[in-house]
Amino acid sequence: MKKIYTLAIDTSCDDTSVAVLCNDRVLANIVSSQIDIHKGWGGVVPNLAKRAHQEMIDSCVDLALKRSGLKDIKKINVIAVTYGPGLAPALEVGVSKAQELALKNNIPLVAVNHMEGHALSVFLKNKVGKNYAKLPSDINKTKFPLLALLVSGGHTELVLVEDFGKYKIIGQTLDDAAGEAFDKIGRMLGLGYPAGAVIARFAEKGNRNAYKLPRPMEHSKNYDFSFSGLKTACLYQTNDLKKELGEKGFAKIIPDYCASVEEAIVDSLIGKTVKAIKEYKPKMLVLGGGVVVNKRLRAKLRKALKALNIPIYFPDKQFCQDNAAMIGLAGYLKFLRGEIVKDIPLLQRKPSLGIEDDN
Ligand code: KG4
Ligand code: ZN
């Protein structure tokens, strides 16, 4: 098979990431996190993100090329860049760097949807061709349709993948994303930002049935999610508990509270996923997004899918969070399909791009 070298850039949110791939193999994946910049603000500040991306992007490109062993950008066959969805000022940095590199070095450019990257992240292989997610067959032998559950700080979507490049959203959140729910509830509990991993750590030591919390939309007929009702229930309940128990007493119940919150979010995600699997009968379930590192979600999904006899694949932890390697893989497949940007200077970021929009 011909070797295609892809340089990929993702600056959609608060990570500056650049990767180099050879076909579906990751040769280098550099991620410069901005968490320390944003955590004091309780969320990502778009203009601070933009400035940090601008400061880091060139060194990330240089480092990715160096680590890949290619060293020289002239060896790259295609440049892939995230053009949406994401924060407009952040996306702009990656898009203009990709345009500059493509034009200067006369390399074709491919514009990639960030959510397509998350959906394909289980297919990534390491340098020597070993699939990180332990998929049984090669990417070219993938059987469709597959179902993708994408859960991050900004998105919660159930996507039917009819082929690479052919996506249909069958369910999505009507308000907050699952990661956003973890983060907002974590803030109420005084756990800092982002709070998903902290809640998960406390939850390991807690009683999951200690507090009764709603599973919104549990009985609705569609595959949509909603987390704002859970957030509001937590707000009232934590205020009451703080009054009743005082600061010290409240601190003692944090593990039980975190365990109950995690269970409510995980149950909501699994309920709709199982319902969708029964209806659409996909060949497998693949996951993507930052929330997918959650161990409880993985364990409960594995159990639920075993009963349905459907295989499930999780991306390696490094490819759950935002990364350019997944953009490189989606970009490589788009390049093979001939979907390159025709007029490079005219490419614009699309902050609210949907996964169905560039089918
Ligand atoms: O995909 P991602 O890195 O960034 C976005 O594109 O949003 O996801 C970040 C989200 C945050 O909301 C964070 O709280 C959540 O993933 N997260 C977790 C865990 N680790 C990170 N949520 C639940 N359990 C975890 N262990
Ligand atoms: Zn993401």
Whether the pLDDT of residue 43 is over 90: the answer is no
Residues 6+ apart with CB under 8 A from 359: 165, 166, 167
Whether 288 is in the pocket of ligand 1, judged by its Cβ within 6 Å, is no
Closest CA to 125 of 135, 113, 117: 135
∠ Cα 235 321 98 (to 5°): 125
| Residue position matching structure tokens 């893989």 | 329
What is d(CA 14, CA 248) in angstroms, rounded to the nearest whole number? Answer: 34
pTM: 0.96
Whether the pLDDT of residue 42 is over 80: the answer is no
Mean pLDDT of 234-255: 96
Instruction: Check: CB of residue 176 under 8 Å from CB of residue 224.
Output: no
Instruction: Check: CB of residue 287 under 8 Å from CB of residue 277.
Output: no
CA 115 / ligand 2 centre spacing (Å): 7
Instruction: Check: CB of residue 332 under 8 Å from CB of residue 10.
Output: no
pLDDT value of position 344: 98
pLDDT value of position 45: 82
Whether the pLDDT of residue 257 is over 70: the answer is yes
Buried b (16+ CB within 10 A) or exposed e, 265-291: bbbbbbbbbbbbbeeeebebbbbbbbb
Mean pLDDT of the chain, nearest integer: 95
Whether the pLDDT of residue 41 is over 90: the answer is no
More reliable by pLDDT, 58 or 140: 58
Ion ligand 2, residues whose Cβ is below 5 A away: 152, 322
Whether the pLDDT of residue 193 is over 70: the answer is yes
| Residue position matching structure tokens 């593990």 | 255
Mean pLDDT of 246-260: 97
Range scoring the smallest mean pLDDT among 120-134, 216-230, 289-303: 216-230
Give Cα 20 distance to the centre of its chain: 19
pLDDT value of position 189: 96
Whether 193 is in the pocket of ligand 1, judged by its Cβ within 6 Å, is no
How would you class 128 by CB atoms within 10 Å of its CB: exposed for 0-12, middle for 13-18, buried for 19 or more?
exposed
CA 77 / ligand 1 centre spacing (Å): 32
Q: What are the two backbone dihedrals, phi and then psi, of residue 36, each rounded to the nearest 5 degrees? A: -60, -30
CA 232 / ligand 2 centre spacing (Å): 25
- For 23-39, the pLDDT digits (tens) are 999 999 999 988 888 88
Helix ranges, 289-355 (H): 295-308, 325-336
Can you name the residues that pair with 287 across neighbouring β-strands?
149
Per-residue pLDDT band for 359 (boundaries 50, 70, 90) equals: low
CA 66 / ligand 2 centre spacing (Å): 25
Mean pLDDT of 277-292: 97
What is d(CA 211, CA 5) in angstroms, rounded to the nearest whole number? Answer: 52
Instruction: Check: CB of residue 5 under 8 Å from CB of residue 332.
Output: no
Instruction: Check: CB of residue 198 under 8 Å from CB of residue 191.
Output: yes
Whether the pLDDT of residue 117 is over 80: the answer is yes
Range scoring the smallest mean pLDDT among 108-117, 137-146, 269-278, 337-346: 137-146
Mean pLDDT of 229-247: 96
- For 10-24, the pLDDT digits (tens) are 999 889 999 999 999
Range scoring the smallest mean pLDDT among 31-45, 61-75, 212-226, 255-269: 31-45
Q: Which two tokens stand for residue 61?
A: 């490109």
What is d(CA 333, CA 327) in angstroms, rounded to the nearest whole number? Answer: 10
Whether 152 is in the pocket of ligand 1, judged by its Cβ within 6 Å, is yes
- For 311-332, the pLDDT digits (tens) are 999 999 999 999 999 999 999 9
Whether the pLDDT of residue 246 is over 60: the answer is yes
Whether the pLDDT of residue 358 is over 80: the answer is no
Closest CA to 268 of 310, 231, 316: 231
What is d(CA 329, CA 71) in angstroms, rounded to the nearest whole number? Answer: 20
